Amino acid sequence: MAIVFNKSFILTILFYYKIIEVHARGPVYTPPDVERLTDHFKRVSIDESYNVSFGGTNVHVTNNGTNADLSLDKFSGSGLVSKNKYYYGFFNAALKLPAGFTSGVVVAYYLSNANVFPHNHDEIDIELLGHEKRREWVLQTNIYSNGSVSTGREEKFYLWFDPTQSFHDYTILWNNHHIVFLVDNIPVREVIHNNAIYPSKAMSVYTTIWDASKWATHGGKYPVNYKFSPFTVSVKGIEIEGCVLNSKDVAPSCSRSSLSSTDPVDGQQFAKLSAQQINGLGWARRKHMFYSYCQDKNRYKVLPPECNAI
């Protein structure tokens, strides 16, 4: 005997399973419209902009040099480093993250000069932290200035999309006015220029994947399980434009302190967030941020001074 389901019953079942899916990942929100800063800069190839930093056998450049796959296996992680060092700039990579059980895996897109200044380095970090549950990658941002590694300035966000299914843009804008972290052009964090925490030296740009079992997931409770390796992040959509520090220069080749046409991110449109971007920033922080060092009174008996301005 055939079983016949009416249309309303089928829709009810579909709605039920959709709710289960949403509840498994938390509420799914539609992001607001914002300016597409990534449309202002030229995309360049991996070959043009990067060298291999480490794990060369786990770095595979594809699509005539425009894309790269970086892998982590039980022998090594892997990474790319920019051919130039930059003071200020616009830095973007489109990433597609590994799927499945990724606890302890970290994909990082960041600026650093730790190789040149090991005791007083600067760093601007976007770190994507794997998780023991499928698709629950976490976005962490952080800043170090002049070696201030004893005071972390982390903020953590849940993503509003599945980062393993397609490419998404992860961006750092750094100029004399502010540092802005963006995901798909939506600002998630803004750090206004403050000498106490602001990077002060030219940095290289890195894209890496590595084993952070000791700290990345619940303080290292869930280490990398290499049964699921290799873990591979795909990279494309490179935009990397800023004040280049040439080997013969004492200082980078554009202004540090004034609005200047020679600095690609020091024009008026990059000096402060627009109304649309402020709306996007508020949306990201209300809906998706679940940790900020400025709210961590267990970690800091006295909150860092810049928290008063947030």
Q: Do 74 and 83 touch, CB atoms closer than 8 A?
A: no
What does the pLDDT read at residue 247? 63
What does the pLDDT read at residue 234? 98
Distance CA 229, CA 224 (A): 9
Torsion angle (degrees, nearest 10) of CA 42, 45, 48, 53? 120
CB atoms < 10 A from the CB of 52, how many? 17
Q: Is 241 a catalytic residue?
A: no
Specify which residues 281 forms β-bridges with.
Answer: none
Active-site choice (21, 35, 48, 127): 127
CB atoms < 10 A from the CB of 73, how many? 17
* pTM of the predicted model over 0.85: yes
Q: Is 123 a catalytic residue?
A: yes
Structural domain spans, the chain: 42-295
Active-site choice (123, 155, 190, 239): 123
Q: What percent of the chain has pLDDT over 90?
A: 62
Q: What percent of the chain has pLDDT over 70?
A: 83
Tens digit of each residue's pLDDT (9 = 90 or more) over 149-159: 566 799 999 99
> Per CATH, which fold does 42-295 belong to?
Jelly Rolls (2.60.120)
Q: Identify which has the larger pLDDT, 87 or 232.
A: 232
CB-based contacts of 9: which residues, under 8 Å, 6+ apart? none
